[in-house]
């Protein structure tokens, strides 16, 4: 019944402000495309110069209408376009799943160093995990989207996880939420999930150790430039020139 009321409330809101709401959601979708493209470009650059791809997968999502309304109610805010834009920073979300923990910080630094990315907020749940064991690096950023007659800055939440972090978070959500279980059983599940989170952390650390050991021995391809930076850049421009001449 409560969910139906939320749906009805949002439906009424959308009907009353159809065009502004559609414009706002279009802006968020455009911002997602911009951020996703940035990470795809970074991944290609790593592949070109370092012979490796640090990104395993990229996922994007727009927050559901019911989730938007619930979050506004939690903040005691009225359902308006300005309240959504100025107070909810995770309407548009991007999740970047990386191979190693080191890749997370490397990609995040490269992303934030771009001159059209403004950092609004950073929460490092890798160094400081949540009480339930959740680990991830969260960034709230603002990026520009270029429209026919204006440039608009839009907020996007970016989450970085390793494969192990993403595995735990995805299954924890399926196991823990929306279950009609007693408090005692939920407490037991929470303890078991926390233990699983510790195992995943140990797994990430062990894989990082193995990668570092191989890197020191020179066995792991791609963790140092294939060519010196200046030579790499010259090769890249040379390939570009050949491709242009062959058109």
Spatial separation of the C-alpha atoms in residues 200 and 27, rounded to whole Å: 36
Helix (H, G, I), strand (E, B) or coil at 98: strand
Pairing of strands 92-98, 55-62: antiparallel
Question: In 13-98, at which residue ranges do the beta strands (DSSP E only) sit?
Answer: 55-62, 92-98
Neighbours of 115 (CB within 10 A): 5
What residues are annotated to the active site? 157
Pairing of strands 92-98, 151-162: parallel
Spatial separation of the C-alpha atoms in residues 141 and 159, rounded to whole Å: 11
């Amino acid at each position: 019944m409560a969910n139906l009321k939320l749906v009805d409330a949002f439906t009424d809101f959308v009907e009353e402000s159809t065009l502004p709401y559609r414009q706002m959601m279009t802006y968020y979708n455009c911002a997602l495309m911009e951020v996703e493209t940035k990470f795809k470009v970074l991944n290609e650059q790593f592949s070109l110069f370092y012979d490796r791809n640090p990104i395993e997968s990229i996922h994007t999502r727009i927050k559901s209408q019911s989730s938007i309304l619930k979050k506004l109610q939690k903040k005691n805010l009225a359902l308006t376009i300005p309240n959504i834009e100025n107070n909810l920073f995770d309407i548009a979300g991007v999740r970047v799943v990386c191979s190693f923990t080191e890749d997370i910080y490397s990609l995040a630094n490269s992303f934030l160093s771009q001159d059209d990315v403004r950092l609004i907020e950073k929460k490092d749940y890798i160094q400081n995990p949540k009480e339930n064991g959740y680990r991830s690096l969260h960034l709230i950023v603002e990026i520009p989207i270029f429209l026919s007659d204006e440039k608009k800055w839009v907020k996007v939440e970016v989450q970085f996880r390793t494969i192990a972090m993403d595995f735990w978070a995805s299954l924890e959500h399926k196991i823990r939420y929306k279950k009609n279980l007693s408090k005692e059983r939920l407490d037991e599940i929470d303890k078991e999930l926390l233990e699983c989170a510790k195992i995943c952390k140990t797994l990430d650390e062990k894989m990082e150790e193995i990668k570092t050991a191989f890197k020191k021995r020179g066995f792991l391809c791609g963790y140092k430039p294939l060519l010196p930076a200046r030579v790499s850049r010259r090769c890249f421009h040379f390939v570009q020139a050949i491709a242009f001449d062959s058109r």
